[in-house]
Structure 1
């Protein structure tokens, strides 16, 4: 329904040009042309497209009557540099997508331009939708996409060969919905101990949903693919539940903790995912700290334990972990390292072996260990 609405709005806007109606302004960018218009002048119509995103933003900010105005930014196919195709806005409500629905030829290449070490899209108090964009070859001192105190929707995007300090996508006190996107061979600088390819920080007010995505061969210190942390000091009743579903985690590496996921003080539902060949010294697939995680209908294959006693596939500390209806291959001599936690497993293909330190563990309804190392 959302995509159909966007297509209808795009069609109406293209027919009418850059029209300020029903609170939506459509502006078209074509980097392949070199149109002439005065600085900060009108552009963005089919006949006079803007030459870059900065010109489009300048024009939109000049004509938009209030902060509730919606920008529909349509990008023609091409390779966009980062010199004048970045966004740094507060209270911007925008959709960003190719003008040709379904195109995979709108590419932001960090190796082209003068601002490759800066954040490409930075938003504060904004509601943003980014669809169908390719991001490649960035060397960033921050992140590629950053949202603070807002809402962000990312669909059908690819992130590849990105080196960053804070992750390809950085969410701070923001709600994130990331769908149908692929993250491949991205690296988070090893000096950043609290960031991953997707970094999520909240104070119990926000949640993220990741669905139908792929994370392949990414590297970080903690959380080879995803790092999620609650930063609030005080707890709250019924905090928002984040979700990861129908997603592949393959070949991700954390040199610290959590080959695929590092979860700290976040309630998380993990359902219908596949984990294969992820690696870390402490939780080859997942590191769970002071958190609640429910895993259902997921598959775990060939995780690499760099340290037999510390790693296993899931390392949980002061947490509650429930695993139901999931599949484990037999390469794991130990499945879970339980440290001061409660672990409940049932309806899985194997009776999972645990290492327990002051834990309550219940396997298929039978208490396995409690209070003493095993």
Structure 2
């Protein structure tokens, strides 16, 4: 009896160990049981400075309020963090479990300044871009001493100073057969954005733009834009009638139909009414959704939108953390002081030790089942 029991215990333990090992292998070494790709996590040490411009005293209450807002933002993203004061204006923030190193600065320093703005498309700029380009070329030919010309050697060797940097957008055929222009007027290489802005704002070019025009840059808005380029928008710049104050909900979501990350927003009654009016007068035209003077998205309005809902498209991504950061900024209180990142250091986080209890529970369950099966077989054979 004792020998049979010992053998049963050893056999059951072996079976349970084999089942547990097989489960661990399937979960960690194959894709059969994996639900999502592994995400690299980092530890961060960030030194920030709070304050107004130089030689302006920052009230202690504003410093405390600023730190409280930053602490709340980090908590909402569920970062494990500590904030340590170095002096009355400088703080060191330690963060564990960080997955989006690019969005951290925006989270700490940004105010999420939202504005819905109407835009000019290329139908307005089709001829003026060429005229502005010729005006710039004539100016540089007659002013060889110009600082901008001397600092950028390529401008002295081309006849198209503006159009060599700005690639105009192309219209496409709409559902009704007519030509439709995208929300942006052109593309520019990221390395040339500063030079392009100088040309667009040059006195020789500005007379050709609409009086209320303001140029803004934006990321790929789903038009198959080549990587390493920015979209150039012409904004009808007026004091925005829909801002953060009109947002009552902002949540990061995933659109399964397009495989894109989005931030869905709900507006208050005033924002809802204004959004319906704005979309009504811009049917078949784009509206730019701007954040911190950058265009996040410029969808074309197909019908008037009632109900006070909108969303910002962030593009395709496996990590929804950027969407979380953006939704938090849209809802967050405004920082009373300017936040400057002095230094940021990132290092890979220590590997997380997997929890042991699921495997222990599986081992015990497998052991009990194996012992029960052997006992039943023994009883059947005895009878």
Same fold (TM over 0.5): no
In the superposition, the TM-score normalised over structure 2's length comes to 0.19
Structure richer in helix, relative to its length:
2
Q: Which has the higher contact order (CA 8 A, sep 6+)?
A: 2
Structure number with greater Rg is 2
TM-score after normalising by structure 1: 0.20
Structure number with higher strand proportion: 1
